[in-house]
Amino acid sequence: MAKDLVYLVTGGSGFIGEHIVTFLSREEYVKEVKIFDMNEGSTIITFIKGDITDYKQVLEAVKSVHVVIHSAALVDFMDEHPFKKLEAINVGGTENVIKACLASDVPYLMYTSSIAAVGPNTNLDPMVGVTEDTIYNGENLLNYGKTKAQAEKLVLLANGQQMSNGNKLTTCVIRPSGIYGEKTQSFLKNYRSAKSQNNRINYVDSDDAKQKLDYVGNVAWMHVLAARHMQLNPGVLGGQAYYSYDDTPFLYRRELLHDLFTEFDPDIQIGSHIPYWKMWVMISLYSLISSFLKPFWKLKPFFTVQILKLVSTTFYPDTDKAFRHFGYKPFYSWVESKQRTCQWLKQTTEDMRKTKKNS
């Protein structure tokens, strides 16, 4: 494989992107890593501030680049943004990246998709331990998932398209499942909620619903490894999609939270189950109050009916395709993933206490 490669990571300051950049910066074959993002991150590498919806800015960013890892996206599970905005960033932005790669002879494009691009569907049909070859039909439950599905389709269709120099573009897709790790804001909210409820983790998901979570560092490593092997074996990886996976135990979300929180706060316990109907009533009342206050004050949704349906549906893959195609193995063990996440949670909560005390 060629050396002195230049990588561009869109969304390189984001949750997954920051970890991808960190891995790439350690690789001997990488000469430079460029970050294209709306906001500057903590990683000090060549930073290009730009808007993914602006084609001219994207075209300028991909100049002299060998590989693009496109992880920039508007992640919105709570429907806080209009669908047009989601579509403009997640679909339109991806169209810009593909178009720029073809125009600038960038031969390799890796796309960060999501398991949400597959489902669940509006019928809430379960997906139990399936592979990348499993066909799952129906209208996508989440607007976010709809835009990721559209973008993923564009990337896969772009595989093999002719570039301006006559060579062909090679594309590949990674579909992360639920992700946890440093900067998982939902975990931080869950911990604060548990502390406010007598150290109890009350939960909505039932014993009938199972979903898989993966550590963000391993998801990032899968991207880096796939991008490398896409250059070595384009005939194998080109036009392929891969679900992410690692050694994180298959636990209910409440069990995983309990495992993490008790590492630094042994008082935390698993609380009681909140029935579906009760949660639905709470969401409906909150939505009603929000609509009355909308002209004066915009309330952020704490939960939505779509998310309630999502967490009540069994939906997870079971595959080793990434290992078979490019030798992927998790970079971090479950013990390491847990330790790194707990260190961040502990430090963040301590910093928040100090800030509150001094204010």
Torsion of CA 275, 75, 141, 299, to 10 degrees: 50
131 lies in a domain? yes
- Return the DSSP state at 38: S
Q: How far apart are the first and last CA of the chain?
A: 55
Into how many domains does the chain fold? 1
Query: Could you identify the residue written with the tokens 């009938």?
Result: 208
CATH assignment at residue 76:
3.40.50.720
Average pLDDT over residues 134-150: 94
Assess whether pLDDT exceeds 50 at residue 44. Answer: no
Assess whether pLDDT exceeds 50 at residue 45. Answer: yes
Greater confidence (253 vs 3) lies with 253
Assess whether pLDDT exceeds 90 at residue 54. Answer: yes
Residue 42 has a pLDDT of 44
**Which range of residues forms the domain containing residue 322?**
5-181+212-248+317-332
Residue 290 has a pLDDT of 83
Closest CA to 6 of 262, 211, 227, 171: 227
Residues designated catalytic: 144
Helix (H, G, I), strand (E, B) or coil at 334: helix
91 lies in a domain? yes
Closest CA to 246 of 271, 213, 277: 213
23 lies in a domain? yes
Both tokens of 63, joined, read 């100049």
Average pLDDT over residues 69-76: 93
Residue 43 has a pLDDT of 42
Helix (H, G, I), strand (E, B) or coil at 213: strand
273 lies in a domain? no
Q: Letter for the amino acid at 343?
A: Q
193 lies in a domain? no
Q: How high is the mean pLDDT of the chain?
A: 91
Digit-coded pLDDT (tens) for 84-106: 999 999 999 999 999 999 999 99
Q: Do residues 64 and 107 lie in contact, with contact meaning Cβ atoms separated by under 8 Å?
A: no
25 lies in a domain? yes
Would you give the distance in Å from CA 94 to the centre of its chain?
Answer: 15
Assess whether pLDDT exceeds 60 at residue 158. Answer: yes
Distance CA 336, CA 215 (A): 10
Distance CA 144, CA 115 (A): 11
Sorting pLDDT into bands at 50, 70 and 90, what band is 40?
Answer: low
Digit-coded pLDDT (tens) for 182-195: 989 889 999 999 99
Query: Could you identify the residue written with the tokens 């990721």?
Result: 148
The listed range with the strongest mean pLDDT (74-83, 94-103, 201-210, 256-265) is 94-103
Residue 4 has a pLDDT of 84
Assess whether pLDDT exceeds 90 at residue 205. Answer: no
Assess whether pLDDT exceeds 90 at residue 231. Answer: yes
The 3-state secondary structure of 217-281 reads HHHHHHHHHHHHHHHHCHHHHCCEEEECCCCCCCCCHHHHHHHHHCCCCCCCEEEEECCHHHHHH
Distance CA 169, CA 238 (A): 9
Digit-coded pLDDT (tens) for 127-139: 888 899 999 999 9
Residues 6+ apart with CB under 8 A from 19: 181, 216, 217, 219, 220, 221
Q: Facing residues of 10 across strands? A: 36, 70
Asked which of 105-114, 254-263, 324-333 is least confident by mean pLDDT, the reply is: 254-263
Digit-coded pLDDT (tens) for 3-35: 789 999 999 888 899 999 999 999 999 989 998
Digit-coded pLDDT (tens) for 263-302: 999 999 999 999 998 999 998 898 888 888 777 777 777 7
Distance CA 112, CA 240 (A): 12
265 lies in a domain? no
Residue 116 has a pLDDT of 94
216 lies in a domain? yes
Q: Do residues 157 and 319 lie in contact, with contact meaning Cβ atoms separated by under 8 Å?
A: no
Assess whether pLDDT exceeds 80 at residue 60. Answer: yes
Report the run of H or E that residue 345 belongs to, with start and end. Answer: helix 334-358
